[in-house]
Amino acid sequence: MPELFDRLLNNIYFIFQRLDWLNLVDLVLVTLVFWGILLLLRDTQAMVLIRGALLLIVLISLLTSLEVLPAFSWLVRNTLPALVLAIPVIFAPEIRRTLERLGRAGTLVPTGKPSSTTLLSIATVVSAASRLSDRKHGALIVMKRTDNLDEYVKTGVQLGAVLTPELLLQVFYPNTPLHDGAVVISGGNLVAASCVMPLSSSGVLTRSPERQMGLRHRAALGISEVSDAVVVVVSEETGFISVVHGGRMIRRLDAERLENILMAFYRPTEEKKGLGGMLERFFSRTGRAGREES
């Protein structure tokens, strides 16, 4: 036992002797890459797949190390390249979502104060959501930011009407023709109603207290995962108001908190340009989304 401990210390000392600043930079970069990948895949089905893949790799490594199983070792060596090629197919949704986040992180948000139209839209949504919550009328309100939502607008009934609280109350009145689906808001206009939104595939609702929620909340998470839209959801069963952005949900909001959160999303800030600014925005958005969920 003491010999094993001494050998371990000697190996550690040998490694530190050969370390220089270039090796440290190399290690830090590799660590940042893996940390960023795990951060992006957090709360997605990919984490479950990664755990299963790691367990499978460990088991295969142990079995192939046994010399008494030559046929199994030959099978693994010949099928491993096919498994590597299958990784992009298995993780296709997560790869696409990651590239979309990178693309959105590189966009520059105009500086200055929110326009009067934006302020009016926020006040209208807050007023309508509060009244819908009191009446326990379910609602799904998608507020467009920079990403194009035309493909989802085409799935609903295009209105192009001036946005008012009364219009939203009428659209989401139970059993009316347009109450199912989402409304899309752009600027001061209600662009379309009864729109079909993509359902979330991240599995967040199945691993959280919100797992009892229905299709309306899954659709809110889904559109927030594929765009930078801000989504306001009113629960039909409880009347709770929620805000969804970037695949994260903030629940049980009152009118004041809802207005503050929406103002924060639409309040432009001075942003750095170049690669440094792009990376800062990317990681700050990811971290901010995690804080919002808590």
- The pLDDT assigned to 278 comes to 47
d(CA 170, CA 176): 8
19 — pLDDT class (breaks 50, 70, 90): confident
- The pLDDT assigned to 274 comes to 46
- The pLDDT assigned to 37 comes to 75
Please tell us whether the domain made up of 116-267 is placed in CATH 3.40.50.720.
no
pTM of the full structure:
0.61
286 — pLDDT class (breaks 50, 70, 90): very low
Highest mean pLDDT among 8-12, 62-66, 110-114, 177-181: 177-181
Q: Please give the mean pLDDT across all residues of the chain.
A: 77
What does the pLDDT average to over 254-278? 69
Which of 101-110, 129-138, 160-169 has the least mean pLDDT? 101-110
Which of 13-17, 118-122, 163-167, 267-271 has the least mean pLDDT? 267-271
What does the pLDDT average to over 130-153? 91
Q: 45-64 and 92-105 helices cross at what angle (nearest 10)? A: 130
More reliable by pLDDT, 285 or 63: 63
Share of the chain above pLDDT 70, in %: 68
Which of 16-25, 40-49, 168-177, 214-223 has the least mean pLDDT? 40-49
d(CA 285, CA 57): 33
Write down the domain spans for the chain.
2-105, 116-267
- The pLDDT assigned to 211 comes to 53
- Sequence-distant (6+) residues with CB within 8 A of 132 are 138, 139, 168, 169, 172, 234
* pLDDT of 237 strictly over 70: yes
What does the pLDDT average to over 163-181? 92
